[in-house]
Amino acid sequence: DAKTTQPPSMDCAEGRAANLPCNHSTISGNEYVYWYRQIHSQGPQYIIHGLKNNETNEMASLIITEDRKSSTLILPHATLRDTAVYYCIVKSYGQNFVFGPGTRLSVLP
């Protein structure tokens, strides 16, 4: 079973920041938080992952709360091409990636 909870859908205006929340209240100390996205009819694309520190790369920023019970993926300037389903995944040692239903982000012109 997925260990995360995400809103089923969100809208964001083009050019604005998209903030996608994820709740993982049962996360353990050695579990990482991963984010993937899936554009319609394509394979999931890796975005970013982190343990406890905030992370940033060319695609997005990941903000993890101090208690690690929740995180937020930030797309700083959303474009229409960012419309996709976004998956937040908590991964344990020895286990595989478990994908829940994710959040369907619609970027609106």
User: Which chain residues interact with other proteins by CB under 8 A?
Assistant: 2, 30-32, 34, 41-46, 49, 51, 87, 91-102
User: What minimum distance in Å lies between the beta carbon of 16 and other proteins?
Assistant: 27
- Nearer CB in complex with other proteins: 14/91: 91
Q: How far is the CB of 79 from other proteins (least distance, A)?
A: 21
Q: What is the DSSP string of 8-69?
A: SEEEEETTSPEEEEEE-TT--TT-EEEEEEE-TTS--EEEEEESSS-EE-SS-EEEE-TTSS
Looking at beta carbons only, is 14 or 98 nearer to other proteins?
Answer: 98
Residue 7 or 101: the one with the smaller Cβ distance to other proteins is: 101
Instruction: State the minimum distance, in angstroms, from the CB of residue 10 to other proteins.
Output: 16
For other proteins, the closer CB: 35 or 70: 35
55 Cβ contact partners less than 8 Å away, ≥ 6 residues apart: 48, 49, 61, 62
We find the least distance from the C-beta atom of residue 86 to other proteins, in angstroms, to be 12
Q: Torsion-angle region of residue 52: left (phi > 0), alpha (psi -120 to 50) or beta?
A: alpha
